[in-house]
């Protein structure tokens, strides 16, 4: 399935097989797959969602939309983090200028997500307090992970500045004070221009 996913991204057969073999030799994936919970099934449904999503993105049809929504349903109801696929594919279609198909896939994903969100929100009240941390809804925990103290955004900003300082130090060794800021602005401007061209 992973080879088929790579083929849908225009990889050659040889590159697809080599990349799949190397990718599936990663110890992290096997450690995740050996957990006797929903993780192994999620890996399979995630790859299915990526594959069907990339096929829909390449050439949208009603059949491919139905295939993607079926794979997304399995991924999302296996692990709620499958939500990322339901967001990524409509955004990819939108970036390709396929606005109508982006809306169709977003509406379809929304119809799949809504019943579970409504039910789990109401059912959370019935979960005993000591078990809510494990069995309760993830929304509060996720928002805390993203924006709370020591959350993802704060950590990424801090690491971004540290990385920028190291890059400036690599290109301009020994530069200190206001010259570091000036050199950083020059490098940042060049990077922005190149990334813009690359994305086009």
The set of residues, in sequence order, having a beta carbon less than 8 Å from that of 169 and lying 6+ positions away, is 175
Kindly state whether residues 121 and 60 are assigned to the same domain.
yes
Same-domain status, 161 and 121: no
**Length of the chain in residues, anyone?**
200
Q: What is the pLDDT of residue 148?
A: 64
pTM beyond 0.75: no
Query: What mean pLDDT do residues 52-66 have?
Result: 94
Mean pLDDT value of segment 142-149: 68
Q: How many CB atoms lie within 10 A of CB 81?
A: 13
- What's the pLDDT at 150? 66
pLDDT range class, residue 94, cuts 50, 70, 90: very high
Same structural domain, 56 and 128: yes
pLDDT of residue 168: 76
Helix, strand, coil shares, percent, the chain, to 5: 80, 0, 20
Instruction: Answer yes or no: do 105 and 187 share one domain.
Output: no
Whether 145 is in a domain gets the answer no
In a shared domain, residues 193 and 120: no
Instruction: Indicate whether 12 and 57 sit together in one domain.
Output: yes
Residue that terminates a domain, selected from 137, 167, 187: 137
Residues 108 and 30 in one domain: yes
Q: Which domain holds residue 186?
A: 152-199
Q: How many domains does the chain have?
A: 2
Cα–Cα dist 143/152, whole Å: 10
Tell whether 42 is covered by a domain.
Answer: yes
Check residues 177 and 160 and name the one with the higher pLDDT.
160
For the beta carbon of residue 125, count every other beta carbon within 10 angstroms: 8
Residue with tokens 């139905």: 66
In the block, tokens 């396929």 appear at 98
Residue 71 has pLDDT above 70, yes or no: yes
CA pair distance 112, 72, nearest whole angstrom: 8
Mean pLDDT of the chain: 85
Most confident of 19-23, 131-135, 183-187: 19-23
Residue 147 lies in a domain: no
User: Are 172 and 79 in a shared domain?
Assistant: no
Let me know whether 160 and 127 are in one domain.
Answer: no
| Residues 72 and 167 reside in one and the same domain | no
């Amino acid at each position: 399935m992973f080879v088929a996913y790579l083929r849908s991204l225009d990889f050659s057969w040889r590159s697809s097989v080599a990349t799949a073999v190397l990718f599936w030799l990663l110890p992290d994936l096997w450690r995740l797959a050996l957990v006797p919970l929903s993780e192994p099934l999620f890996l399979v449904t995630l790859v299915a969602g990526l594959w069907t999503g990339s096929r829909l993105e390449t050439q949208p049809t009603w059949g491919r939309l139905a295939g993607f929504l079926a794979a997304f349903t399995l991924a999302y109801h296996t692990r709620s983090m499958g939500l990322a696929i339901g967001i990524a594919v409509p955004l990819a279609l939108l970036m390709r200028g396929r606005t109508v198909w982006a809306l169709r896939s977003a509406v379809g994903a929304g119809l799949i997500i809504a019943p579970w969100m409504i039910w789990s929100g109401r059912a959370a009240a019935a979960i005993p307090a000591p078990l809510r941390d494990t069995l309760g809804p993830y929304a509060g925990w996720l928002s805390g992970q993203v924006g709370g103290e020591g959350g993802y955004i704060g950590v990424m900003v801090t690491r971004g500045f540290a990385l920028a300082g190291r890059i400036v130090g690599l290109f301009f060794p020994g530069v200190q004070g206001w010259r570091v800021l000036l050199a950083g602005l020059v490098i940042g401007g060049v990077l922005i221009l190149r990334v813009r061209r690359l994305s086009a």
